[in-house]
Copies of this chain bind each other. A is one copy, B any other.
Amino acid sequence: MKFICHKSELAKGVNIVMKAVPSKTTMSILECILIDASANEIKLTANDMELGIETVIEGTIEEKGIVALDARFFSEIVRKLPDNDVVIETDTSFRATITCEKAVFNIIGRSGEDFSYLPYVEKNDSISVSEYTLKDVVRQTIFSISDNESNRMMTGELFEINENMLRVASLDGHRISIRNIELKENYASRKVVVPGKTLQEIIKILPGEADRMVDIFFTENHILFEFEQTKVVSRLIEGEYFHIDQMLSSDHETRVKINKREFLNCIDRALLLVREGDKKPIIMDIKDGSVMLKIRSFIGSMDEEIEIEKEGKDLMIGFNPKFFMDALRVIDDEEITLYMMSPKAPCFIRDDEESYIYLILPVNFNAASV
């Protein structure tokens, strides 16, 4: 095999497929990037058996062939090469020579015979969203998946399509994050659960352009994301997702309008008093015109007043401050509205169109100590 491509193009491609190289594995071939120049394109592939990524890079093939190279070393070498054309050449024993300007690297490659290619995905059933939207919607919901593998369903995100609406949701038993996006066309109804890890990697490699589209294909067990020169295939999580609609309610006794930035900064400061693993709630004492936010921990205490617009009953309610932080960080609105029922019932943060709904369960607190 022999081909020539520019360093920047090679580095871009390697960076993309690296996301599917497992950090630990007992199958050493999975630690490799497969470079396939056996047809008329140069294709890089990595596959950890859950998630597989392939991307095509620009270059000139002088001799067709395939080689598998250790992903870590290859990526580090590529990153440090001068910014110029790179020649990659292998001999019959898969010894690879990487030449760029006057630097010549030799590393030992493998045939790639035992490499697992990406599963074949039939392209019947698909939707299309912009790179920007997909990236945004995942970022705005991914934080409330659970990292506890004992409930595998919670480690994924729901992608639900109904006519021209896409709903993306995640939950971890303490909170639910939902985003609703309008699509440009009507599609067949679909409900799949995508592993969180897949989505976390996709948002890292997705350029996020508003005017370029990602095609998403669904099969029984897989989801395929296609954008630009890249394909990402992931297994789906099997089983039925939680019935989210049953957990939502539009009743409320107290409605609060609050400046998001002020609220966020205040919780950020309150978090200083909470050490890792310590579960001190932030107490919101909601009255007409203002909320007093209070936190007490063994380190000290903080009190801060924020002006609000309130409708309905006064309320004192406690929350895990981190859960509020996570939700507030991904809401773009300057002013947000909280809907609450009682100190025991969930708080909803949502806009009028319900383009977003964040549900956060309150926590118990000792009212006497506040």
Contact = CB atoms under 8 A, between A and B. Distances in A.
Given A300-B73, A300-B107, A102 B306 contact: yes
A302 B105 CA distance: 4
A221 interface: no
Interface in A88-121: 102-108
A269 B73 contact: no
A248 interface: no
A73 B106 contact: no
A77 B272 contact: yes
B272 A104 contact: no
A352 B76 CA distance: 37
A61 interface: no
Contact-size category for A: 20 to 34
A312 interface: no
A299 interface: yes
A105 B301 contact: yes
A304 interface: yes
B108 A269 contact: no
Interface string A251-274: 000000000000001101100110
A76 B269 CA distance: 9
A82 interface: yes
Interface string A299-322: 111111110000000000000000
Contacts of A77: 269, 272
Contact of A272 (B73, B82, B299): B73
A299 B107 contact: yes
Contacts of A105: 269, 273, 300-302
17 contacts: A73-B272, A73-B299, A73-B300, A76-B272, A77-B269, A80-B268, A80-B272, A102-B305, A102-B306, A103-B266, A103-B269, A103-B303, A103-B304, A104-B304, A105-B273, A105-B300, A107-B299
Give me the 9 closest cross-chain CB pairs, A-B, nearest first. A107-B300, A103-B304, A106-B301, A104-B303, A80-B269, A102-B305, A105-B302, A76-B272, A106-B300
